[in-house]
């Protein structure tokens, strides 16, 4: 009996943990909710089977496991679909959230539901509400419900079912944080179509308020992604240690300059961090010209690149030190490639939506890189980065990593073949064969 109780408790615990992300009803579409619950059921059943494989005393009969899995697969998804929205009594309630005070009147007029108030930082004063449409003042009679730190409390206490986000462009971290709070509490997130970034929604169809269909990552997926980053970077640094030593010696013997080149790069939400690369250019290559995109990115020849640097760039080996940034958590294996702040400023002046790519942690490789798009075409690069942010998943990351490793392998083979072709075929006496 005690053994049965222990097995039942273990089974219940595993199922409960697997379904943890679904305990709070989320504003997902019906089919998305169903598929998400089915996936969680499969994880729970697989975990039970795995425990039974390694611990025979716990091993469930195969028929019992299959039957229990089928029952869970039929009942639990249906339950979570039924509660995918928090119930509301009477009319729907909307809360406006953000720091762009001048947008609140327009959003309030566009909302179909009852706007119960707005949530904004303490710095946003009631007197600022209403400056809109070329300076014309429009009064708006909605109360301030609290600051952003109390957003969850406000959403729950006012039984809100919709939150319209209104943040200035430079406050993307606060916008993303508010979006996560909405999803955690089953509140549908919307944005005014006039202020909607492509990374947030692709359903701008003439309606003033549109749904934000960028869903924050499942916390469990975030943990798995971070574990993958740590394992990939750690194993990579250990396996590549002999190659790292050879590269360091080659760079030092070539011109006696430093082995590593340090750069400041842009991270999540416009913050910066420092990365290291194996130096592939002559020392102080940017001392006069400053930060510029290498001519090699556009298919040309950059005279600043050394012979050893050409080999490193062609084989992508100059990027190896960035594995340390992945270990530190500054970067991920997959994500938009980080640029230098000065280049980011230039690209933002050419493509206004450029900061949209800062919603996620930068990566060693990304969708743009495996498609051969560099900073010489910022608009196309941004399109790939936004596509990655909207589609990102562990399986999508895996496909990108596999394609990148394949490209690295083919580039290395091409480099070896070109070197072999450039080496003259000599006879026994050392003279070239004709």
pLDDT at residue 247, rounded to an integer: 93
The architecture that CATH gives domain 93-215 is: 3-Layer(aba) Sandwich (3.40)
Backbone dihedral region for residue 281 (phi beyond 0: left; psi -120 to 50: alpha; all else: beta): beta
Closest CA to 26 of 176, 179, 183, 178: 183
User: How far is 325 from 321, CA to CA, in rounded Å?
Assistant: 8
Residues 6+ apart with CB under 8 A from 151: 97, 119, 178, 181
Tokens of 351: 């493509």
Walk across the sheet containing 188-192 and list its strands.
144-146, 114-119, 93-98, 162-166, 188-192, 209-211
pLDDT at residue 348, rounded to an integer: 78
Q: Are 98 and 167 in contact (CB under 8 A)?
A: yes
Tokens of 161: 């079912």
Tell me phi and psi for residue 207, to 5 degrees. -75, 145
Instruction: Find where tokens 């009477």 sit.
Output: 90
Q: 341-350 and 378-391 helices cross at what angle (nearest 10)?
A: 100
Alpha helices in 195-295 (DSSP H): 219-239, 241-255
* Partners of 365 in beta bridges: 334
Closest CA to 166 of 112, 126, 212, 116: 212
Q: Are 267 and 338 in contact (CB under 8 A)?
A: yes
User: How far is 66 from 19, CA to CA, in rounded Å?
Assistant: 19
Closest CA to 165 of 99, 213, 102: 99
Please tell me the pTM assigned to this model.
Answer: 0.62
The domains of the chain are located at 2-82, 93-215, 220-420
Residues 6+ apart with CB under 8 A from 52: 58, 59, 60, 65
Report CA 386 to chain centroid distance, whole Å: 10
- List C-alpha distances in Å: 104 to 117, 125, 162, 182, 210: 10, 12, 15, 18, 15
Q: Is 428 exposed, middle or buried (0-12, 13-18, 19+ CB in 10 A)?
A: exposed
Closest CA to 401 of 247, 176, 261, 235: 235
pLDDT at residue 294, rounded to an integer: 56
Helices and strands: H and E segment counts in the chain? 14, 12
- Tell me the DSSP string of 290-324: -S---GGGGTS--TTB-HHHHHHHHHTGGGTTHHH
User: How far is 372 from 357, CA to CA, in rounded Å?
Assistant: 17
pLDDT at residue 133, rounded to an integer: 41
User: How far is 129 from 431, CA to CA, in rounded Å?
Assistant: 85
pLDDT one digit per residue (tens) for the chain, 434 residues:
666 677 677 777 887 887 777 666 655 556 667 777 788 888 888 887 777 666 655 566 667 777 777 887 778 777 766 765 544 455 678 898 988 777 788 888 888 778 888 888 766 655 555 544 444 434 557 788 888 888 888 887 888 888 888 887 655 677 778 888 887 777 888 888 777 766 666 666 667 888 777 766 767 788 889 999 999 999 999 999 999 999 999 999 988 889 998 989 988 777 889 999 999 888 877 665 555 565 555 555 678 888 898 888 888 889 999 999 999 999 999 999 998 888 888 887 888 777 777 778 899 999 999 998 887 888 888 888 888 887 888 889 999 999 999 988 888 888 777 766 665 554 444 444 43
Closest CA to 94 of 154, 150, 44: 154
């Amino acid at each position: 009996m005690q053994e049965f109780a222990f097995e039942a408790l273990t089974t219940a615990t595993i199922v409960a943990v697997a379904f943890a992300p679904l305990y709070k009803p989320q504003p997902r579409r019906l089919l998305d909710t169903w598929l998400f619950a089915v996936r969680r059921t499969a994880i729970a059943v697989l975990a039970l089977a795995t425990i039974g494989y390694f611990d025979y005393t716990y091993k469930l009969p195969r028929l019992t496991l299959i039957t229990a899995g089928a029952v869970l697969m039929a009942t639990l998804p249906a339950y979570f679909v039924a509660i995918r929205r928090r119930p509301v009594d009477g009319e729907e309630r909307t809360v406006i959230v953000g720091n762009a005070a001048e947008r609140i009147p327009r959003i309030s007029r566009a909302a179909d539901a009852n706007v119960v108030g707005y949530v904004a930082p303490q710095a946003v004063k009631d007197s600022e509400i209403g400056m809109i449409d070329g300076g014309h003042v429009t009064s708006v009679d909605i109360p301030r419900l609290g600051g952003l730190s109390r957003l969850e409390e406000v959403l729950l206490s006012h039984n809100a079912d919709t939150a319209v986000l209104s943040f200035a462009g430079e406050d993307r971290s606060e916008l993303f944080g508010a979006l996560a709070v909405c999803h955690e509490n089953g509140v549908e997130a919307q944005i005014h179509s006039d202020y909607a970034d492509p990374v947030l929604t692709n359903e701008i169809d003439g309606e003033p308020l549109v749904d934000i269909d960028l869903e924050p990552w499942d916390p469990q997926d975030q943990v798995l992604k971070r574990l993958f980053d740590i394992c990939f970077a750690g194993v990579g640094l250990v396996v590549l240690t002999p190659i790292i030593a050879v590269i360091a010696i080659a760079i030092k013997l070539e011109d006696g300059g430093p082995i590593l080149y340090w750069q400041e790069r842009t991270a999540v939400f416009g913050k910066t961090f420092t990365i290291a690369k194996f130096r592939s250019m002559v020392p102080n290559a940017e001392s006069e010209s400053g930060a510029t995109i290498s001519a090699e990115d556009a298919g040309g020849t950059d005279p600043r690149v050394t012979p050893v640097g050409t080999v490193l760039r062609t084989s992508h080996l100059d990027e190896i030190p960035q594995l340390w940034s992945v270990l530190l958590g500054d970067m991920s294996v997959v994500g938009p490639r980080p640029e230098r702040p000065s280049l980011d400023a230039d690209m933002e002046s050419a493509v206004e939506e450029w900061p949209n790519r800062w919603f996620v942690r930068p990566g060693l490789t990304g969708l743009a890189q495996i498609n051969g798009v560099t900073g010489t075409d910022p608009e196309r690069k941004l399109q790939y980065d936004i596509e990655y942010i909207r589609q990102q998943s562990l399986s999508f990351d895996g496909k990108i990593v596999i394609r990148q490793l394949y490209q690295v392998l083919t580039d290395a083979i091409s480099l070896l073949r070109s070197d072999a072709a450039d080496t003259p075929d000599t006879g026994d006496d050392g003279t070239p064969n004709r």
